Amino acid sequence: MIPSRHSGTMILLSGLVGVLLVLTAEARVGKSSESEFCTETEECLMFKRICETYEYEVREYGPAKWVSTEVEAWFLDYATYQAFWRLYGYITGENHEGKNIEMTSPVLVEILKNGVYKMSFLLPSEFQRNPPKPTDKKVYLIDMPGKIVYVRSFGGWLTHITDVYHSYKLSSALDSSGAMYQKSPRYAVGYNSPMTLFDRHNEVWYMAEGKPVCPSPGEQLLSD
């Protein structure tokens, strides 16, 4: 049976849509040269800055694929140490294809209830479509949806104390501005190797609800 011109057009359009979806997904992982503070890995998670104040900024992130693991601990410091090496094993060959996978930035730690910490490594663009499955049962792949987050940045080291302090400062600023956000979970975000001593960049995130709020005088939504 010879396909009609109409069916051929539909097949072509479907193919183009599929290509666009792939490009859209991979476009969320970009070269570090495009980032102002993501400098230690070849690829980083890209974002659109919606607005900013003196206390925080609002960013929009697209969907992306990550590899994750969960650790139950009293403190962030212990949880991140244990979770990091578990995920590091995955990217250095502990997967069903024995692949070595390049490290990306940032490292995301989702702070859940009851002392559970979920650490995630962003998969590089090469593996966004079809990453190898982990061999460790405590490591798993996730498709993280797009999100809008309130962000507070700080230097130095990401520890339990600095995370609690900056999360409190961010939530206080958001409460004062009347912003709506999810108080749980929150995120601790790191961009640097433990070997980096200076010019470190860390962040804390809260997920936004409703329209982002940036109330400082003279500041406007950058997307307008």
Q: pLDDT tens across 83-119, in order?
A: 999 999 999 999 999 999 999 999 999 999 889 999 9
pLDDT (mean) for 41-62: 94
Q: Determine the pLDDT at residue 28.
A: 76
Closest Cα to residue 60, out of 148, 143, 146?
A: 148
Cα separation, 95 vs 90, in Å, equals 6
Closest Cα to residue 114, out of 78, 71, 154?
A: 71
Provide the residue ranges of all domains of the chain, joining segments of one domain with +: 29-208
Q: Determine the pLDDT at residue 32.
A: 78
pLDDT for residue 8 is more than 90: no
Report DSSP state, residue 35: -
CATH topology of domain 29-208: Multidrug-efflux Transporter 1 Regulator Bmrr; Chain A (3.20.80)
Q: Determine the pLDDT at residue 114.
A: 86
For residue 35, the one-letter residue type is S
pLDDT for residue 166 is more than 80: yes
Q: Determine the pLDDT at residue 19.
A: 35
For 29, 59, 98, 102, the CA distances from 93, given in Å and listed in that order, are: 21, 33, 4, 11
Closest Cα to residue 123, out of 146, 103, 93, 108?
A: 103
Q: How many helical (H) and strand (E) elements, i.e. helices and strands, does the chain have? A: 3, 11
Q: Determine the pLDDT at residue 216.
A: 60
